[in-house]
Homo-oligomer: A and B are copies of this chain.
Amino acid sequence: MTDHFEPYQFQDLTPLFNPKSIAVVGASGKEHSIGNHTFKNIVEYSKFEGTLYPVNPKQREVMGLKAYPDIASLPEAVDVVVIVVPAQFVREALEQAGVKGCGFAVILTSGFSEADAWGIAEEAKLVEISKRTGIRIYGPNCPGLVNLNVPLGMSFSPAYKGDITPGSIALATQGGGLGRNMMQHNYRGLGFSAWSSSGNECDLQVADFVYHFALDPECKAIAILVEGFKDGPRFAAAAAKAAEMGKPIIGLKVGRSEYGAKAAQSHTASITGSAEVNSTVFQQLGVIEVDDLDEAMDVAMLFTRKQPTGNEKVAVFASSGGAASLCADNVGTAGLTLSEFTPETTAKLAETLPSFANISNPIDTTSISISHPQALLASLVVCASDANTDLVLAPIPMDYGIYTENNAKNFKKAQDTTDTPIVPIWFSEKTGAGYFELARSGLVPFRSLRNMGKAVRRWIDYGQYLSTRDKGWQPLIVETGVAGEAAQTRSLTEAEGKAELAAADVPVTAPEVAATKAEAATIAAQMGRPLAMKIVSAQITHKSDVGGVMLNVAPDNAGAAFDTIMSNAAKAAPGATLDGILLEPMAPAGGVEAFVGVARDPVFGHVMTFGLGGIYVEMFQDVTRAMLPVSQTQAKAMIAKLKSAKLLTGYRGQPPRDLDALALLVAKVSDYVAANAGRIEELDINPVWVGAAGEGAQALDAVVVVRA
């Protein structure tokens, strides 16, 4: 299998997650020590069947196993070296492990780049060892790594032993606290295949684990919690692999607000990036963005039940009229579609349920759930086998003790008759035996109707994403610079910028620059149409503000306008060097104005923003974004996402605009940036004039900012 993204190589992490041999540096027999917790987690609470070596120069044996004084003296190069010694001893252990040819080091120890200057320097030395010897590093400053389907816990955490519920959700986090929170969803019945919590990520990072999980047959869904991506394009490459394998990634990214971004930066010393860009990237890569941790788990749960097609219709099956109504309400607000039962289903429901029940969708069986549990079972089987229904949502508003437990058993029996998932929503705070009966049967409930709506919506959307994604697309990959170091930049003049764009086949006005009044008159006469005239000066960015712009100038008046603009600019910007006046024909009247911007995100590289000008962006923030590159087809999809797109397709009797030409312009801008990716920091084409169909589109102004 070849990598989808050529520039990125992902190492096979199987020996890290399923090692044949492990050494624990700092393993100890001393109760309550961190080395003891770590060793015990492997010896007592794992089912590790490979070879295990305690490494401790002060102990002869640890928990009955012969201890080695150091890595160098081990009889073999182990797959994984787990390191729990204090920070000042980590480097030596890693050096020995690298030289010996060990595959991976899991460094649990804290006190590196997250702590102080010494730690930053020391962590750089660990990276040097990794690069030199080939040993890969997991951590440092992390709670470890667990593979729950063995189970194997390479972790010091005393909580590990309580959180072992094997399953098919893989979890990749950076910090340990929030990862533990997600793991504790095993208390509601969710099972996990593995959890990586990669701390400072001086080498291996979330992207590497995502790639591994994408290929892991035990994993059906990948949940990630990220405070800052170390390498955006690498993550994009891993996400593309996950999509190729049909594995959804469910992502929560800290830093959706300024407070969060600031706190995450201070916590992890990573660049959090812009929330808008992050959401754009997630959407483009098919990463399912969620708003909270429990939502991540709810979405993941649904993927463990079935893969979506993108066209699912749902039935609601309730034994309370209120629950049926409120569940249907949430189905509606989430934009889901209630299935219309077939005549056969309706007839069978009428036979099975009493006359006062509601047998259309949403179904309300009424209190037969208590009085006639067999009728409940029979009607649920009918509902779940309806040919028009792809998912059955079963809201359970309250715990009724033994009745609910009995119904839970019947839910399982009904599920055994069909492939259509029956998904309960247990939204009472009282979770009794019935709840755990469902969880044990694999019918893990949602815990709120709101989360149900959000999760089902996202599940279906992912089905649509998979079926429509552009398999050939891969993001523009360029060196994104060093974190925290802003590049030196300069703006091209309008004439320079437009010349570059024109050379790259971006339709753009062809301006000429007049150095004198006479030249201006000559150029104007040649153009022979009303003109836009603008001051040319490297020191003047906001040309209008200094009286440096005149529009709709008749060719005959161009000479006079030259003098006026020069005089305005000289007065308003006395120190500026005035290089002349730019002249270009005015765009025909009656066009729609759009804009195209590109900025280089420190994490994900060049991201394009597109929208219609003026009020649409300023008042309604009606813009759409995409990572580059953007093809003409993708540009059309971007344009269609705007709320104001109707203005382009023929609003209130206006002619439809030249969408082909506009989309081509956008694609050509993308090509231009791609061809100059290492140099271009920012680009702003505003306005883009968009004519009626057949009239074309044209960049009327352009600011290009490049690295100095």
Contacts and interface: CB of A to CB of B under 8 A. Distances in A.
Interface of A: 115, 158-159, 162, 173-181, 184-188, 225, 227, 254-264, 266-268, 291-295, 320-326, 328-333, 338, 356, 358, 362, 364, 397-400, 427-430, 448-450, 614-615, 618-620, 622, 643-644, 646-647, 651-652
Contact of A356 (B115, B330, B399, B622): B115
B397 A177 contact: yes
22 contacts: A159-B400, A173-B322, A175-B321, A177-B320, A178-B322, A181-B323, A188-B429, A227-B325, A254-B326, A255-B329, A256-B333, A260-B325, A261-B329, A262-B328, A263-B329, A267-B324, A292-B330, A292-B448, A292-B450, A293-B326, A615-B644, A620-B643
B178 A254 contact: no
A294 B325 contact: no
A260 B331 CA distance: 8
B267 A321 contact: yes
Given A256-B333, A260-B326, A320 B397 contact: no
Given A177-B322, A266-B358, 17 more contacts: A175-B320, A176-B322, A177-B320, A181-B323, A184-B429, A187-B429, A225-B322, A256-B329, A259-B328, A259-B332, A260-B330, A261-B329, A267-B325, A294-B429, A295-B450, A619-B643, A619-B647
A268 B225 CA distance: 43
Contacts of A257: 328-333
A397 B427 contact: no
A116 B568 CA distance: 84
Contacts of A186: 429
A322 B227 contact: yes
A338 B259 contact: yes
Contacts of A225: 322
Contact of A615 (B268, B328, B448, B651): B651
A185 B263 contact: no
A112 to B, nearest CB: 12
Q: Chain A's interface: helix, strand, loop or mixed, by majority?
A: helix
B256 A652 contact: no
Contacts of A646: 615, 618-619
Contacts of A324: 263, 267
A449 B177 CA distance: 14
Given A259-B329, A266-B358, A614-B652, A181 B427 contact: yes
A173 B620 CA distance: 38
A260 to B, nearest CB: 2
A362 B263 contact: yes
B185 A429 contact: yes
Q: Which of A227, A328, A333, A622 has the most CB of B within 10 A?
A: A328
Nearest to A255: B329
A7 to B, nearest CB: 31
Contacts of A173: 322
A429 B163 CA distance: 11
B448 A177 contact: no
Contacts of A258: 332
Q: Which of A173, A262, A268, A651: most chain B CB closer than 10 A?
A: A262
A292 B225 CA distance: 25
Nearest to A398: B180
Interface centre among A184, A429, A614, A643 (most CB of B within 10 A): A429
A364 B651 CA distance: 54
Contact of A178 (B176, B263, B323): B323
A533 B256 CA distance: 54
Contacts of A330: 257, 260, 292
B398 A159 contact: yes
Nearest to A293: B427
A260 B328 contact: yes
A398 B429 contact: no
A449 B332 contact: no
Contacts of A254: 322, 325-326, 329
Name, among A268, A322, A332, A614, the residue most crowded by chain B CB atoms within 10 Å (CB to CB): A322
Contacts of A430: 162, 184, 187
A331 B293 CA distance: 15
A362 B260 CA distance: 9
A632 B55 CA distance: 81
7 nearest A-B residue pairs (beta carbon): A257-B332, A260-B329, A177-B320, A175-B322, A259-B332, A267-B321, A178-B322
